[in-house]
Amino acid sequence: MVIDGVKGFDTPPQDILKDISMLCLGSSGNLTLAKEAGFVIGKILKEKGCSFYVFGSLDVLRYKDPRPLRKISSSPYITAQVLQLFAEGLGDAGIVPVIDARGNINEEVVVSLITRKATFPVMVENEEKYLKLKKLGYITSLVITEKSVLIGKLNPLRWENMTPVDPEDIRRKILKSSVVLLGKGKGVFINDPFHEGGVLIFSDESWLVEEALKVLQGLSNPTGRAPFR
């Protein structure tokens, strides 16, 4: 995606950092890892010559959501917290964070971001959606519409953070922190938060499945939080 001569990315985070979806970050027992994920993804994008990244959603997770990995949590407050932390990580890496506000928006998420003074740039379908956000008090200097029309000016962040990171180490740490006990029941479920029982994980890698089985057998404690209540 190139807008106003500036290169950006509009693709799910799990396509950049394997298995690390927004839902995975919202299910972690340590939400601050969202900032580390944002930083790692930002570093990867910076190396590709990108200046901005469209991510997340202003909506909450709903039962049987057809695209659950795009959402963060059924809680608007956890959703806002993860959006803020992830955006801060991107910014630290020199990438402009752009929240994906296309589709449904949850007003509680919007208000929570405003309260946190975390009104980051957004991508919307049209100017009407932008005006709706503005009416709620969400004022931002940059809006990109789905048709790649720019409202405001896109100013790339010129710095590049040289702090070394190990993407695989961060990735495994996040996955290990997101082993969720959904309730009594059998089975290990991958990327499916709607089962009434069993254990939810976000990768099919054998080491993580083994962690999930230990939780299922009562040999280990779950590390994550159920994203849907």
Q: What is the pLDDT of residues 8-63, one digit of tens each?
A: 999 999 999 999 999 999 999 999 999 999 999 999 999 999 999 999 999 999 99
Give me the number of domains the chain comprises: 2
Residues 178 and 114 in one domain: no
Parent domain of 180: 167-216
Domain boundary among 152, 181, 202: 152
Please name the residues in contact with 65: beta carbons below 8 A apart, sequence gap of 6 or more: 71
pLDDT > 80? residue 163: no
Domain boundary among 98, 125, 152: 152
SS3 30: coil
pLDDT > 80? residue 152: no
Please report whether residue 148 resides in a domain.
Answer: yes
Taking only the tens place, the pLDDT of each residue in 88-98 is 999 999 999 99
Say how far apart CA 91 and CA 196 lie, in whole Å. Answer: 37
Say how far apart CA 82 and CA 207 lie, in whole Å. Answer: 26
pTM of the model: 0.94
Residues 147 and 192 in one domain: no
What's the pLDDT band for 157 if we cut at 50, 70, 90?
A: confident
CB neighbours of residue 147 within 10 Å: 7
Residues 59 and 147 in one domain: yes
Domain boundary among 112, 129, 152: 152
Please name the residues in contact with 213: beta carbons below 8 A apart, sequence gap of 6 or more: 188, 199
Q: What is the pLDDT of residue 55?
A: 98
